[in-house]
Structures are given as structure tokens and as C-alpha cells.
Amino acid sequence: MPRMRAVVVMGCAAIFACSHTPPTDDVPAPWAPPPEPAWGELPKTDEDVRLLVAKAGLEMRGARFDPRSIGHIRADASKLIAGEEAIATTYDGWITRDAKRPSYLVFGTLHDSRAQIESVVGIVMRMRGLWGFSLEQFRARGRWHAEPETLSADDADLAILTHTLDDAALFRVRQRQMLFDHAAWKFDYVAALTNLLYTARGAGLPILGCDMPAELRALVPSNAEGAMREVHCAWALRSAARALAPVHAPDGGLTEDDPAPPERFAVLMGADHAEPDGLPRFLPKTARELEVRVLGGRPRDAGGEESELAAHLAVLDLVLYRDTGLDVLLLPDDTWGGHVDRTTDHDASATRPPAARDGLPRSNVVAESDEPARFAIGEASIDVGAKAEWIQARAGHQAYVLVSASCTLVGAVDVPDAGHAELHFTPKDRSVRIVIHTP
């Protein structure tokens, strides 16, 4: 009997051992965004706003924009970038350069200019490294505790339009622009904002609300509204970053313990809000931010910086001016613009460039001016006058600058792959005649 009991026990143990599955590695838990800090109660007194701004804001990084900084542009075209495509490539390089820190590209525009908004849109839609594009013209509901109903918020419809072109959502967005965006209908760019939604859908770029809805703005002290709108926008972007993080997971995906990948946003704000003492001081402490001031493209009677600079500066084409700590997007308009006469001549032998020296690229740009001036294009510059002078530049859409006693002219020329570009400047008349010679 003892022997039979032993056999039974051994048999049961063998059966158990055969049926038991060996332990496997734990399956990683799916990633979830970290909890968002509470927004708290919407401040409704001056003291409450002061305390919130002091707690949420960082020290101002950088100086406010001074228009005098571009009043004396030197004959150095290496600081200029021409055209939306090249500018987008430049900013894509900046926004993707640091893979460990959040990056914010903040454009400061004026609300009386449709051209400024459309130019920024043209740049942003050509970028490839962005998570989203946030505009002050669209309102974000926010997450304030016990907030009232915000019928003017655009979040829900913008989320729909990220995934599909829904006619009802487009209609509601347009209606809210007519009701709540005074500048958009006054300066006739409601259509530009709705067209943006079509373009963004094609580019696969989410459009995000940023501004505080009218229902909430009515509750904060009027003298603190500006700061509260900046806090609201920064925190709305923080919420958007958490929601979009899974889409931008690194190779291999995200697991439970991984930190959120750093966000990359472009933001379009009013010029004052884009200053270092505006929205940027409420962005994450670790964030990189680059402010781009947009000038030009405004009504003739607008006044402002363009009128102050027009006596000595003519902007003939869309050009980005970059100097240490300064990015300014320059647009032509009726205030500080000029006249450009462009023609094409298919007889490239009309004016022959000098023969190239051994080992050096051939000259492909010839310039002259009716008064002594310094002309620069690409990395090269040369003194010009009534006698035509030759210079070499890369083929493509290239920025140039001509500096004379009468005026500084900034613009762009399409240097051909074969043939050459010919430029005749009349600085006193703020004009240039450009002839592209091609075979």
C-alpha cells in the first residue's frame, strides 16, 4: 500500500509538471500620457491673476523686438533667406535639431494683415517636423475648474477636421469666426482661415486652438486679460502635447515607464503676445523657443514700423532676415515696397559672362546701379555702379541686398541653372529691373 501511494503521488506530480506553462516575460503595459497638472479655478480678481502669473511664468528670455534692428541692414546676403520653401527648410532644421527638448516656433503677426497670416501658413505647411499648428484666431476650451459653457471654443470641430473634411464642422468654424473674430471679418480674411483647414488636412497637420474663449475672457479682470490669454494658450498647448504624444512615439513605440516625447509646435500669435514677456514665458521650462516677427503685408494707412523704416528700406519680395537673436520675416507692401520689373530673355548670348578661372565656378549674376552701391547675393558681395559687375551665386531662388546712400533694397531673384541673371537698380526710385537670360 505505501508503494502504491508513492506511485500515485509521483504520477500526479508528473501530470501537473506537464500541464504547467513555464513563466513568460511580463507584457509591457500600454503607454498613457502623464497626468496633466490641474488648471484650477479661473482667476477673477487682480490679486488672483497676479499670483497665478507669478507661479506659472518664467523669467523673460531675450529682449523685445526693436524695429531699429533692421533699419540698417548691411550688404551681407548670408543673413537673408528667400522664399517659403527655403524658410520652411531652415525652420524644420531648427525644430528637429534637439530630440530631447520641446520646441516652439512662435510667429508674431498683426491682426490687420491677411498677407502676414497667409505667408506664415505657407511656411508652416511646408514643414515636416511639426506636431501641430496653433493659431490665436481659433479658441481652445481649456480645463479650468467649474468653467461655464464655452460656445465660442473651436476644439471639437478642429479635432473633427484633423481626421476628415466635415462640411458641418467647417460651417461652424466659419460662423464662429464671423461672430467672435472681429479682425478676421473686418480685414477680410475669414476665408483664409477656413481655407487653411483644407490645406492642413492635405498636409496631415493638426490645427489647434490657442486663444481664450470669449465666455472666459469676460470673467477675468480686463487689465489682466492679455496675460491670462497667454497662460490659457500655453496650457492648451500642454494639453495638446499629451494628446498627440502617442502619434509621435519613437521607433519601437512607447511603454509604461517611458517619458513623453518632446512636442514640436508652430504658433501664430499677435505680435505683443509673441514677445519674450508674452506667451514664451509660460511655455515649459525646458522648452526651446524661437520668435519670428512678421513685418509688412499691411494696409497703406496702417502706420507702424513699416512707415518708420520706409524712408531707408525697400522690401521687394518675401525674405527672412536672420541675425544674432533676431528673426524677422519681411513682406512687401504699399508702404515700404518698391517696383520690380521681371522679364526673361531666351538669348543668353546678349550679355556674356566673363570666362571662369581655373577651378572656380562661372559668374552668373550681373548687377549695375545708377548710383554707387554695395550688392550682395549668397555668400558674395561686390561694389556696383553704372558699369555692370559680375558675381557668382548658386542657382535657384536667392535673396539679395543692395545698400546705397539713397535706400537699401531687399529682394529675391531666380538665378538660372544655365544662363545668368541681370539686375539694374535705381535706388532713388526703389526699383529694380531683372532680366533672366536662358538658352
Instruction: Convert the pLDDT of each residue in 52-101 to its tens digit.
Output: 999 999 988 888 999 888 888 999 999 999 999 999 999 999 999 999 99
Has residue 32 been placed in a domain?
A: no
- Which CA distances in Å does 316 have to 303, 336, 393? 18, 8, 19
Which H or E run includes 412?
A: strand 408-415
Residue 439's nearest CA partner among 367, 352, 373, 363 is 352
Q: pTM for the complete prediction? A: 0.90
Do 427 and 307 belong to one domain?
A: no
Confidence grade of residue 435 (pLDDT, cut at 50, 70, 90): very high
- Domain of residue 345 covers 339-437
Separation of alpha carbons 116 and 187, rounded Å: 12
Domain count within the chain: 2
Confidence grade of residue 324 (pLDDT, cut at 50, 70, 90): confident
Has residue 39 been placed in a domain?
A: no
Count CB atoms within 10 A of the CB of residue 307. Answer: 14
Has residue 27 been placed in a domain?
A: no
Do 360 and 429 belong to one domain?
A: yes
Do 407 and 376 belong to one domain?
A: yes
Q: Average pLDDT, stretch 360-381?
A: 93
209's CB contacts (< 8 A; 6+ apart) are: 134, 135, 138, 139, 140, 141, 153, 154, 155, 158, 236
DSSP state, 318? -
DSSP bridge partners of 413 = 398
Has residue 31 been placed in a domain?
A: no
Q: What is the pLDDT of residues 101-115, one digit of tens each?
A: 999 999 999 999 999
7's CB contacts (< 8 A; 6+ apart) are: none
Do 112 and 224 belong to one domain?
A: yes
- State the pLDDT at residue 25: 53
CB 138 within 8 A of CB 161: no
Q: Collapse the DSSP code of 169 into the 3-class scheme (helix H, G, I; strand E, B; otherwise coil) and give the result.
A: helix
Do 380 and 296 belong to one domain?
A: no
Which of 301, 331, 361 is the last residue in one of the domains?
Answer: 331
Do 292 and 226 belong to one domain?
A: yes
The b-or-e profile of 107-118 (16+ CB within 10 A means b, else e) is bbbbbbbbbbbb
Q: What is the pLDDT of residues 341-352, one digit of tens each?
A: 999 998 756 667
Do 327 and 353 belong to one domain?
A: no
Q: HSE-up of 299 (CA within 13 Å, CB side)? A: 8
Has residue 38 been placed in a domain?
A: no
Written as one letter, the residue type at 284 is P
